[in-house]
Amino acid sequence: MSEIPSGPAMPSAVPTTPAAPTPVLQVRGLVKRYGRVTALQGADLDVEAGTIHGLVGTNGAGKTTLLRIVGTVLRADGGTVSVMGVDALGKPSSARLLLGFMPDFFGVYEDLTVYEYLDFFGEAYGLAAPARAFRIPELLSLTHLEGKAASDVQRLSRGMQQRLCLARALIHRPRLLLLDEPAGGLDPRGRAELRDILKGLAADGVAVLISSHILSELADMCTAVTIIEQGSVVASGSVDTIAPAARLRSLSARLAGDPAPWLEFVAARPGVAGAAVSATGTLEIRFAGDLAAQARLVAELVEAGVPLAALEAPRALEEAYFESTQGLVT
């Protein structure tokens, strides 16, 4: 870029040969207060390259505040935020070169066409005209807006505007993508498309930090999750590691036939603390064990001739969420 100073090299904030892989995003002890309300109280977070990291929490838990601070649009009251080694709180302009931010509520410039919109933001990020001319068709293809380059932004559907906003956040090829409730207002097809796009970006090495209320949506795409409540991180890690393995869970088994004769047999299996027939005719099993133990239980039941038609278990992320939080807000 033209802004690189000539002459002797200046000390760089980015380590050129890191000894060990560093997370793309490192948040330590982040604090944010709104008057007497503490929105974030010492939050820590690591997001690795090539991962989709979910940020889960109730309304008011501090997710948006955290994303806005990392996105350099909100001042923090304490802590550090490092994006690829760049101090995002001290040098926000430098950090913005490395991150793309899509807020939860966003508008678009309705007096522009789709191409002009992306061209404007490309220039705002300092991309030269040839680079923009190359990058914009690439993004339109990625977000399935190929045929809309000349369309007025105001004529796009909500889902298309959402994808355009995602393209806008990606215009400068950020290493970290921050998405605050990106699927809000999207139909199921739109959500599936968004999921595929994000998976593709992660496969290209982009770190994605995404907040959402919709746990099933996050469970489908996230490789890691951070659960936040009352401004504090209460659990963080891969979905499997944060899911409680040893505690009792309810498994719901649907049998082809009357489940009553099998109650005693099922209750005697390893890990099963109890079994009962529900009002809807399903066999409710109180079970303690990890996924491997659950697989062994299913094999035993089938081997014994239990007419098992389906077995439903609560999703790991949902379990972890409800286990870790009490629904409190700051």
Residues forming contacts to other proteins in the complex (CB under 8 A) are: 1, 3-5, 9-14, 34-35, 37, 64-65, 68, 71-75, 84-86, 91-98, 101-103, 105-112, 116, 120-121, 123-127, 131, 165, 168, 172-173, 175
Sign, CA torsion 173/238/72/327: positive
3-state helix, strand and coil shares in percent for the chain, rounded to the nearest 5: 35, 25, 40
- Of 126 and 270, nearer to other proteins (C-beta) is 126
The counts of H helices and E strands in the chain are 11, 14
Shortest distance, position 47 Cβ to other proteins, whole Å: 16
Element housing 67 (H / E): helix 63-70
Sign, CA torsion 51/163/43/21: positive
- Of 80 and 238, nearer to other proteins (C-beta) is 80
Taking each helix axis from N to C end, the angle separating 129-142 and 158-170, rounded to the nearest 10 degrees, works out to 140
- Of 119 and 319, nearer to other proteins (C-beta) is 119
Shortest distance, position 317 Cβ to other proteins, whole Å: 26
Shortest distance, position 116 Cβ to other proteins, whole Å: 8
Residues forming beta bridges with residue 227, ordered by sequence position: 56, 235
**Pair 181, 25: CB distance under 8 Å:** no
Residues 6+ apart with CB under 8 A from 43: 27, 29, 30, 62, 66, 79, 228, 231, 232, 233
- Of 108 and 308, nearer to other proteins (C-beta) is 108
Give the dihedral of Cα atoms 149, 152, 156, 159; nearest 10 deg: 60
Shortest distance, position 143 Cβ to other proteins, whole Å: 16
137 in the Ramachandran plot: left (φ > 0), alpha (ψ -120 to 50) or beta? alpha
Give the dihedral of Cα atoms 11, 123, 121, 180; nearest 10 deg: -10
Shortest distance, position 46 Cβ to other proteins, whole Å: 18
- Of 103 and 289, nearer to other proteins (C-beta) is 103
Shortest distance, position 188 Cβ to other proteins, whole Å: 25
- Of 14 and 328, nearer to other proteins (C-beta) is 14
Shortest distance, position 111 Cβ to other proteins, whole Å: 5
- Of 65 and 282, nearer to other proteins (C-beta) is 65
Give SS3 for 79: strand
